[in-house]
Amino acid sequence: MTGAPDPALVERLTEARHAIDARLTAAGATPGTVQVIAVSKTHPAATVAAAMAAGFTDFGESYATEFAAKAAELAEQPPRWHFIGQLQTNKVRVVAPFVDVYQSVDRPSLVSELEKRAPGAAVLVQVNLAGAAGRGGVSFDDAPGLIETARAAGLVVTGVMGVAPLGGPDVTTSAFRRLRSLCDAEGLADCSMGMSDDLEIAVAEGSTMVRIGSAIFGPRG
């Protein structure tokens, strides 16, 4: 990456940062207690650089190949990178040089691969809040076992992550409440829940980390 970020973009992203802070405060968050992860998937490295100039420090990415190319461009002055998407085991090698926190650890095979390629990595265990087993998270029932497996593999489990299932505010509220209970039961610090459309509910239910894409960067293409 060369050149200073576009001033107009930095200004727009600074306004977006203030707007998110205002939403967090209005939702009852004590300032500084809920970390904002700016979800920059599909947006270029130049946009991330502008968002860093606007005061964002932590970024979330979902697509391994896209992420690795972007992170390589920003390698001289990297932000803190959180991997938040489905991660195939054969892509761990590609992202490992850049990832600071793996938020989507959801199965033992991924734990094994991280043990090999990213020993001692900081991870969150992703729980499927829809209740069903399957893609995008371990079931609530299997989460404590996976946390143990990750710890036994030398990974540092700092929290849990979840995406609200479809179904409206009541469904979101009870899903987030259940994730927060798991976080407390496991004695974990990080409870990563809340996105652009449900951050208020997430904060009310005890989120410590919100992952915000479109409300910062606009709609994805």
Ligand X SMILES: *Cc1c(COP(=O)(O)O)cnc(C)c1O
**Residues 16, 84, 155, 175: which binds ligand X (CB under 6 A)?**
84
62 binding ligand X? (CB under 6 A): yes
Closer residue to ligand X, CB minimum distance, 50 or 163: 163
39 binding ligand X? (CB under 6 A): yes
Report in angstroms how near the CB of residue 36 gets to ligand X at its nearest.
11
- Name the one range near ligand X by CB under 6 A: 51-59, 141-149, 169-177, 211-219: 211-219
163 binding ligand X? (CB under 6 A): yes
Region for residue 116 given its phi and psi (left: phi exceeds 0; alpha: psi -120 to 50; beta: otherwise): alpha
Q: Taking a C-beta distance cutoff of 8 angstroms, is the pair 73, 49 a contact?
A: no
Helix or strand (DSSP H, E) at 3: none
- Name the one range near ligand X by CB under 6 A: 15-23, 43-51, 168-176, 192-200: 192-200
Size of the site for ligand X (CB under 6 A): 14
Closer residue to ligand X, CB minimum distance, 180 or 211: 211
Closer residue to ligand X, CB minimum distance, 96 or 161: 161
Among 169, 199, 195, which Cα is nearest to 103's?
195
> 170 burial class (0-12, 13-18, 19+ CB within 10 angstroms)?
exposed
Report in angstroms how near the CB of residue 60 gets to ligand X at its nearest.
6
Distance, C-alpha 15 to centroid of its chain: 22
Report in angstroms how near the CB of residue 204 gets to ligand X at its nearest.
17
Give, rounded to a whole angstrom, the gap between the first and last alpha carbons of the chain.
23
105 binding ligand X? (CB under 6 A): no
- Name the one range near ligand X by CB under 6 A: 3-11, 71-79, 142-150, 213-221: 213-221
138 binding ligand X? (CB under 6 A): no
Q: Taking a C-beta distance cutoff of 8 angstroms, is the pair 213, 14 a contact?
A: no
211 binding ligand X? (CB under 6 A): yes
Burial state string for 41-73 with b = 16 or more CB within 10 A and e = fewer than 16: bbbebbbbbbbbbbebebbbbbbbebbbebbeb
* Site for ligand X, rule CB under 6 A: 39, 41, 62, 84-85, 163, 195-197, 211-215
